[in-house]
Amino acid sequence: MVENGKKLVELKNLNLVFNKGKRNANKAINNVSFDIYEGETFGLVGESGSGKTTIGRAILKLYDKDIESGEILFNGSDVRKLKGENLKHFRSEAQMIFQDPQASLNGRMRVKDVVAEGIDVNHLAKDAQDRTAQVENLLQLVGLNHDHLTRYPHEFSGGQRQRIGIARALAVKPKFIVADEPISALDVSIQAQVVNLLKDIQAQNGLTYLFIAHDLSMVKYISDRIGVMHWGKILEIGTSDDVYNHPIHPYTKSLLSSIPSPDPISERERTPIVYDPTDETDGQEREMREITPGHFVFSTEAEANVYRQHLK
Ligand SMILES: Nc1ncnc2c1ncn2[C@@H]1O[C@H](COP(=O)(O)OP(=O)(O)O)[C@@H](O)[C@H]1O
Ligand SMILES: [Mg+2]
């Protein structure tokens, strides 16, 4: 799916501190660098509090004041320097889908107005009729229909509400969507439907996704590449296959070993790997090093050489 190898999003040595200079200062992002190519889905996994949402929101220019150093480029432009028309354009090109559609949709607005908000703000409809037509198209695209136009979000199931959230994000014809745990709150039976919907929409529109989840098994199906986060750092980056089937960093291995197996025999034999994070605090100089082509692990040169030996 990485069609032309063009970088849409580039993070370069991003450092972000919440409550900078205060007693409760929190270094949420620690020297993170990665690229997201146009047309790909980049999955970001890691346990709660590891900094996934912060990265997504920082890319969307919601945490400018908290960024300590580093750069975020979107289509080659420095996101933090966007102003005026360029900023407006960026705001429609980059959208977000949330974990909890209930909380993110205004409950007092009818579905047609929830979905049309971006159309209204950006004056994308010629007249009322065009506005309705656009909303109907969007609802159809996400598997809802025109009977739903005048209902309120609370009248829908969780899966349908997530579809409304997706329609709302698509209304402004974005290029890039941060999907922040979009299926975590849904019934397992509905999760695959929503993931498939996101995949179909991507195939039709050439969208680029940052897909956030705390569970590797959830992102591997939709992602082209995956980054694994822990304590504000990225510890491993590779293709979905690399990270899921050939994990290298001990933390990635521990994440994978905590996924229950559907097969009762291998489930009985499953030994969860416990990750010991002292190797992140021993003061040694670590950086992302390439172990096999395109597969990077946060390591010292000596550790990287051991990983390379093991893979031979
Ligand atoms: N707006 C904020 N102000 C202060 N601290 C925050 C804020 N948002 C997140 N944090 C902190 O930053 C860290 C990373 O949080 P977050 O990005 O939400 O993690 P994740 O999405 O991986 O669960 C956590 O320690 C969290 O408490
Ligand atoms: Mg989060």
**Statement: the pTM of the whole predicted model exceeds 0.75:** yes
Q: What secondary structure does DSSP assign to 231-243, as a single string?
A: TTEEEEEEEHHHH
Which residue's CA is the closest to the ligand 1 atom numbered 1?
A: 18
Of ligand 1's listed atoms, the one at least distance from the Cα of 48 is 23
CB 239 within 8 A of CB 229: no
**CB-based contacts of 295, cutoff 8 Å, min separation 6:** 236, 237, 238, 239, 242, 243, 246, 248
Question: Probe ligand 1: pick from 15, 17, 18, 229, max atoms within 8 Å of CB?
Answer: 18
Q: Which pLDDT tens digits describe the chain residue by residue (312 residues)?
A: 454 689 999 999 999 999 999 999 999 999 999 999 999 999 999 999 999 999 999 999 999 999 999 999 999 999 999 999 999 999 999 999 988 777 778 889 999 999 999 999 989 999 999 999 999 999 999 999 888 999 999 999 889 999 999 999 999 999 999 999 998 888 888 899 999 999 999 999 999 999 999 888 889 999 999 999 999 999 999 999 999 999 999 999 999 887 666 666 666 666 667 787 776 778 888 999 999 999 999 999 999 999 999 876
Query: Measuring from atom 20 of ligand 1, which residue has the nearest CA?
Result: 49
Class of domain 7-105+172-311: alpha beta
Q: Name the packing angle between helices 128-141 and 158-170 (round to 10°).
A: 130
Q: 309 φ, ψ to 5°?
A: -60, -45
Helices (H), 37-157: 52-59, 84-93, 101-104, 111-121, 128-141
Radius of gyration, alpha carbons of the chain: 21
